[in-house]
Amino acid sequence: MSGNEFQNWNSGENPENLELVHWMDLDEWEARKKQPIENMYQTFADAADAIDEFGPIEIHTSRANAYFWRTSGQFEDDIIAVRQSGLNVRRILIRADSFEDTYGNFANCIDHVLSDNAIGPEVEYAHLMGWAKGLSLDVEEFDPERDYSRTEIEAVAALQLLKIRDQMLEAEPEEEGYINFIFDLGFTAGRAFSALQSTVYLEPNARAAIETKQKYIEKGLKSGSAERRRKRLEQFIQEVEHVFSANEAVRDYEDIVLRLAFDRVVPPGAYGHGQFDNYCSALRSESPYKERFDDLFRKSLK
């Protein structure tokens, strides 16, 4: 499956956290070919046909990314939009039968999905119903013998709210649009406050963990750099000792011995060759190299 994207939208990197999007194989996603869209789609049919032919529509902005998909099964006549901002991922169902009344055109639909307060019928409604059915959760009756998990309790509460909505729709079917809007708004607000509650408690700890990890990384790099320098100095002083002992004619020429030894340890053109003066200074001044250096040159001058 290939992807296509709108031109003239802010470019961005593909998000790293779309674990909720499970109907496209990762290899297919990585191998897709992007085809820029030259003209804005107008109708639901235009966008749906393009997705069927070219693959998901991708839109990248500085505040959020959006992906418009087609899938099979229960929602095969509709479009599923995925809005991703940081680690926040939402799926919104774009219904074919209410598209024109809700959005008017595809450009408005895009703006709606990308907006920070996007509200709309979410796929999670249907997922919740199917999941609850699989667990045999009953909205009407409480089983005193059953050990309900916290998740199951929350699911029953959500199902009870949906039942209230259905009862309101039965009583006032002419107000369906308004009633659905109120419930969608409440659902979105609930998710927003739930996410905020999580970030209030988790984000400071997450940031502290990231900072700690970065410090460990930096410490590791520094310690690694220090270890490499120590090994290089040890190789250098060993080679200085070798050149000094093997070449009696140059023993009185300290700089020549150092240059010959350094070029053997760090050949010309190799990384670090330009640090000759620094390494020589370290041999002359830093323990334990200074003592071994003085044993060669300072004693020979006495």
For residue range 86-115, list pLDDT tens digits in order. Answer: 667 788 888 888 898 888 999 999 988 888
What is the pLDDT, as a whole number, of residue 4?
Answer: 44
Q: How far apart are CA 199 and CA 91, in angstroms?
A: 20
What is the pLDDT, as a whole number, of residue 125?
Answer: 65
Please give the helix or strand (H or E) that residue 164 lies within, else none: helix 150-171
What is the pLDDT, as a whole number, of residue 14?
Answer: 40
- pLDDT value at 259 more than 50: yes
pTM above 0.95, yes or no: no
For residue 259, give every residue at least 6 positions away whose Cβ sits within 8 Å of its Cβ, in sequence order, or none. 276
Backbone angles phi, psi at 172, to 5 degrees: -135, 70
3 state SS of 12: coil
Longest dimension (CA), the chain: 110
Most confident among 214-223, 238-247, 270-279 (mean pLDDT) = 238-247
pLDDT band for position 68 (50/70/90)?
very high
For residue 95, give every residue at least 6 positions away whose Cβ sits within 8 Å of its Cβ, in sequence order, or none. 78, 102, 121
- pLDDT value at 247 more than 70: yes
What is the pLDDT, as a whole number, of residue 31?
Answer: 58
Q: How far apart are CA 143 and CA 125, in angstroms?
A: 24
Name the average pLDDT for the chain.
76
Per the CB < 8 A criterion, the answer to whether 113 and 83 are in contact is: yes
Per the CB < 8 A criterion, the answer to whether 37 and 50 are in contact is: yes
- pLDDT value at 213 more than 60: yes
For residue range 25-38, list pLDDT tens digits in order. Answer: 556 555 556 667 77
pLDDT band for position 218 (50/70/90)?
low
State mean pLDDT over 20-26.
45
What is the pLDDT, as a whole number, of residue 126?
Answer: 64
What is the pLDDT, as a whole number, of residue 22?
Answer: 40
State mean pLDDT over 183-198.
70
Q: How far apart are CA 149 and CA 152, in angstroms?
A: 5
Per the CB < 8 A criterion, the answer to whether 143 and 136 are in contact is: no
State mean pLDDT over 125-143.
75
Q: Is 256 or 183 the better-scoring residue by pLDDT?
A: 256
Q: Are strands 34-37 and 3-6 parallel, antiparallel or unpaired?
A: parallel
Q: How far apart are CA 60 and CA 28, in angstroms?
A: 20
**258 Rama class: left (phi>0) / alpha (psi -120 to 50) / beta:** alpha
3 state SS of 83: strand
State percent of the chain over pLDDT 70: 74
> How many residues are recorded in the chain?
302
Distances (CA, A) of 87 to 18, 83, 149, 195, 253: 8, 10, 26, 11, 65
**53 Rama class: left (phi>0) / alpha (psi -120 to 50) / beta:** alpha
Supply 133's token pair. Answer: 């059915």
What is the pLDDT, as a whole number, of residue 44?
Answer: 94
